[in-house]
Amino acid sequence: SYDLTQPPSVSVSPGQTATITCSGDTLGSKYVSWYQQKPGQSPVLVIFLDTKRPSGIPERFSGSNSAITATLTISGTQALDEADYFCQAWDGRTYVFGTGTKLTVL
C-alpha cells in the first residue's frame, strides 16, 4: 500500500510561518491536495493540484510538491489556523490520505 507520512505535530507562534510536510514515494509525480480539519468539523480543502487555493481560502495558504515531499506553508499564521492538516494523493488505485499533523499556534 502507498503511505503518506506527516509529522504528528507542528508548533508555530502567531504571525510566523508554519510548514507542514507530507512524504511519500515519488510523491512529486502525483498531485497533492491538503485539508484543514478543526475539532468537531469536517475537513475543508485548502490546496489542490499541489499549489492552487479554492475560492475563499486565504492567500497565506500555499503549497508545493517536489521529489518525495509535498509542503503546506501557512504564512503569517493566525490563531484560527490551529487545526489538523491532512495531505492526500491518488496512488493509482485509491485515494490515500496522510497521517495528519496537528498545528498548534502558541
Partner 1 sequence: HLQESGPGLLKPSETLSVTCIVSDDSSSHINYYWAWIRQSPGKGLEWIGSLYFGESPRYNPSLKSRVTLSEVTSKKQISLRMTSVTASDTGVYYCARHPSFGATGEGFDYWGQGTHVSVSS
Binding test (CB under 8 A) with partner 1, winner from 10, 27, 33, 61: 33
Cα distances from 47 to residues 10, 33, 58, in angstroms, run: 18, 5, 11
Binding test (CB under 8 A) with partner 1, winner from 9, 16, 90, 106: 90
Interface with partner 1, residue 54, by CB under 8 A = yes
DSSP-derived 3-state class of residue 42: coil
Cβ proximity to partner 1: between 38 and 106 the closer is 38
Interface with partner 1, residue 36, by CB under 8 A = no
